[in-house]
Amino acid sequence: MQLDIPLQGRQVDVARIEQRLLEADPAVVVDRDPATGHLRISTCAGRDEVAALLRATGLAVQEGDIAIVPSVCCGGCSG
């Protein structure tokens, strides 16, 4: 699932967030969208779990702040 979290100008430590999320999902991908400044997360963890993990890193995020992005997967790489 792909998630989009607006940060509204807040500074975040993406590496720290990624490290925390890796504990729940070893395949997680975390980055900051250079165009919007939003935090982007690709994970199998649920939105509520991601919100709780983000709060544990000090980022004040509620589940409703996290948008689920529709999949852009073409299916070509999974055989």
Condensed to tens digits (0 to 9), the pLDDT of residues 25-62 reads: 999 999 999 999 999 999 999 999 999 999 999 999 99
Note whether 38 and 2 are within 8 A (CB).
no
Which domains are assigned to the chain?
2-71 (3.30.70.100)
For the record, the structure tokens of 79 come out as 């055989």
pLDDT mean over 10-36: 93
Q: Mean pLDDT, the chain, as a whole number?
A: 90
Place of tokens 């939105």: 47
Q: Give the pLDDT of residue 72.
A: 74
pLDDT tier, 79 (very low <50, low <70, confident <90, very high otherwise): low
Residues β-bridged to residue 29: 42
Q: Where are the alpha helices (DSSP H) in 1-79?
A: 14-22, 47-56
